[in-house]
Structure 1
Amino acid sequence: MATTAHIEKAGGSIGTDERYIENLTRTATIPTELFDNLYLAPKPTARAFANPTPLALAGFIMTTTPLSMQMIGWRGAEGTGAASVGISYFFGGLLMILGGMLEFVIGNTFSMVVFTCFGGFWLASSATLTPAFNAIGHFKTADFPTGAENPQFYDTFGFFYLSMVFLCTIFFICSLRTNIVFAGVFIGLVIAYILLTATYWSIGLGYHLLAGKLQVAAGWVLLFVVAGGWWVFTVGMLASVDFPINLPVGDLSGYIKGASHKKAQAERAASSAHS
């Protein structure tokens, strides 16, 4: 067997095994900066996280829209929301909590708290209407065989809606640093939850006719609320595909200056005074 071999390429000889190996093992130097760029600081595979806000908004509007129409009583609909409890679980609960957790990942505290709180609200409301949780069944008595007629249930559950009034009031105050549409949504929710609290307590007092009117009024307010929700959802979806239409939302961030902005102004003023 020959100790040398030739690699033929286009009819010519490249050289012996030793020469070939020598050619293969030659090293090349590259600048340190180029090495750092290639290996120590690789480019990310994705440019950024997706915007989770439209996902959570979809959960909100797809739950609140049919509920508001049911509360108004269109086409003879029943207004408690029992017929759409599945929607409340999966659109209202699942999507809003998922969207809230994704807002947490990208560092949006306000959106995270709002979406997860409303996701929890929809899950809690759905659980109350689900027989397996026995929330209403707990109020069964000889006089109220199903529990749903017991005024004590409505007197008790009304405090949940009252707590939502407090929560949405804080959300409304915070939203004054965002935009007009969000502020309108939250003030509408404050009014809607006040009306729902009054609805439940009116039933507890036996004022069923008044309770029905209050429920219809709450439904109309929620219809106004979801109109704002649909608007912001549309804005987010158009932006996600770089659509050449920019719908206005009424930016309010320039009207109420943030604490960091005021602190920076104070530091600049102090620096100017010392100079």
Structure 2
Amino acid sequence: MSAQPPLPSEKGQLAHPADLEAQHLNLLDNDAGGASLRRQISVQLSAEQFERLYLQPGGAKAKGDLAKRFGNPTPLGIASFLLAFTPFACLLMGWSGTSTAAAPTIVGAMYFMGGLGLALAGIFEWVLGNTFTSVVFITFSGFWLSFGFLLQPLQGIATDLGANSLEYSGGIAMYLIWWGVLVLIYLIASLRTNVVFVALFAFLDITFWLLTAVYLKLAHASFDHVPALVKAAGAFAFLGCLMGWYLEIVLIFDSVGIPVKLAVGDMSSFMSRRRRMD
């Protein structure tokens, strides 16, 4: 391959193409403000596009440029949550003739999908600076790990305390009460993300309170309306799962560039601070 011939410069002298390229890069690195133009070049997303990718309240973008170099971990977190929560909702509703007695069969999903998958997604969200989704994923990772441990037959917790005893059912009810409070906080925070996320947390919070009512009744040996409450909890849980599956489709489609625009209902401007009038 022959070397490229020198090119004439402004002063009439011959300049090598490599020198011209170096000068061009220097111009990019030194603009009038002293900052690198190359570092200033970025892709601008609309508020709705950003909410499709990063579910951060108010559309606050991740700090730094890690979001440009790393993948979006949100679909991983949502998929991990759904693959543990959807079968659980189906068991609560009694699909295929099953009941809550079949819950130990999905302990593996609770551990490895709900627990491990959500923990990894939460850590990745934290690295990107997405505080809200990081906290949601990691706390729900702890929920599935703790709930799976409770239902693990090898632990024998229900056998030792009695499946319908005050100690067993009452203890679970106290645990679920505070989860209902936490999800309510998440629900309020999600009012600055999108409509789908709000609906997911709303259905999820109702599910926690219905399950709390079930365990409180069992703790006091009151079995009236318990089957109906369990099915209602399963129905609201399944509605929440439908919201999650829809959001998962939106995120996956966007990640591969499928030209199908599915609405999520951007709410990033809701409850925003008013700008000061000059």
- Specify the TM-score bucket, using the shorter chain as the normaliser: 0.7 to 0.9
Aligned residue number for residue 60 of structure 1: 81
Match status 1:113 vs 2:135: yes
- How far apart, CA to CA, are the structure 1 residues paired with 2:177 and 2:166? 17
Higher RCO structure, 1 or 2 (CA under 8 Å, sep 6+):
2
Aligned residue number for residue 7 of structure 1: none
Matched-pair contact (CA < 8 Å) for 1:202–1:210:
no
Q: Over residues 129-166 of structure 1, what are the superposed CA-to-partner deviations in whole Å (9 max), with x where a residue is unaligned?
A: 12444533542xxxxxxx22423210111011101110
- How far apart, CA to CA, are the structure 2 residues paired with 1:149 and 1:223? 25
Aligned residue number for residue 69 of structure 1: 90
Q: Over residues 199-221 of structure 1, what are the superposed CA-to-partner deviations in whole Å (9 max), with x where a residue is unaligned?
A: 00111111224222211110000
- How far apart, CA to CA, are the structure 2 residues paired with 1:199 and 1:208? 9
- How far apart, CA to CA, are the structure 2 residues paired with 1:76 and 1:150? 26
Match status 1:125 vs 2:140: no
RMSD (CA atoms) = 2.5
In the superposition, relative to structure 1, how do residues 52 and 32 fare at CA in structure 2: closer, same or farther (>3 Å)?
same
The structure 1 residue matched to 2:254, chosen from 236, 239, 261, is: 239
Aligned residue number for residue 83 of structure 1: 105
TM-score (norm 1): 0.75
Aligned residue number for residue 229 of structure 1: 244
- How far apart, CA to CA, are the structure 2 residues paired with 1:68 and 1:229? 13
- How far apart, CA to CA, are the structure 2 residues paired with 1:61 and 1:228? 10
Percent identical pairs in the alignment equals: 34
- How far apart, CA to CA, are the structure 1 residues paired with 2:120 and 2:246? 21
The structure 1 residue matched to 2:173, chosen from 135, 139, 158, is: 158
Q: Over residues 24-83 of structure 1, what are the superposed CA-to-partner deviations in whole Å (9 max), with x where a residue is unaligned?
A: xxxx97857747989xx9999x95210000000001111111111100111221215222
Aligned residue number for residue 50 of structure 2: none
Matched-pair contact (CA < 8 Å) for 1:101–1:112:
yes
User: Computing the radius of gyration over CA atoms, which structure comes out larger, 1 or 2?
Assistant: 1
Matched-pair contact (CA < 8 Å) for 2:214–2:229:
yes
What letter corresponds to residue 161 of structure 1 in structure 2? L
The CA deviation at 1:190 is 1.0
Alignment: residue pair count: 226
Aligned residue number for residue 3 of structure 1: none
**Structure 1 portions without partners, runs of 5+:** 1-27, 140-146
- How far apart, CA to CA, are the structure 1 residues paired with 2:25 and 2:236? 61
Matched-pair contact (CA < 8 Å) for 2:164–2:218:
no
Match status 1:180 vs 2:195: yes
Q: Over residues 101-150 of structure 1, what are the superposed CA-to-partner deviations in whole Å (9 max), with x where a residue is unaligned?
A: 100010000000111111110000001112444533542xxxxxxx2242
**Residue pairs, 1:1-275, within 5 angstroms:** 34=25, 47-80=68-101, 81-139=103-161, 147-257=162-272, 259=273, 262=274, 265-266=275-276, 269=277, 272=278
What letter corresponds to residue 83 of structure 1 in structure 2? T
Query: Match of 1:207, SS?
Result: coil
- How far apart, CA to CA, are the structure 2 residues paired with 1:132 and 1:35? 66
- How far apart, CA to CA, are the structure 1 residues paired with 2:144 and 2:23? 56
Matched-pair contact (CA < 8 Å) for 1:181–1:250:
yes
- How far apart, CA to CA, are the structure 2 residues paired with 1:132 and 1:82? 10
What letter corresponds to residue 235 of structure 2 in structure 1? W
What letter corresponds to residue 115 of structure 1 in structure 2? F
What letter corresponds to residue 98 of structure 2 in structure 1? A
**Structure 2 portions without partners, runs of 5+:** 1-17, 30-35, 40-64
Matched-pair contact (CA < 8 Å) for 1:179–1:250:
yes
- How far apart, CA to CA, are the structure 2 residues paired with 1:129 and 1:220? 21
Query: Match of 2:69, SS?
Result: coil
Query: Match of 1:208, SS?
Result: coil
- How far apart, CA to CA, are the structure 2 residues paired with 1:209 and 1:55? 40
The CA deviation at 1:168 is 0.5
What letter corresponds to residue 175 of structure 2 in structure 1? F
What letter corresponds to residue 104 of structure 2 in structure 1? A
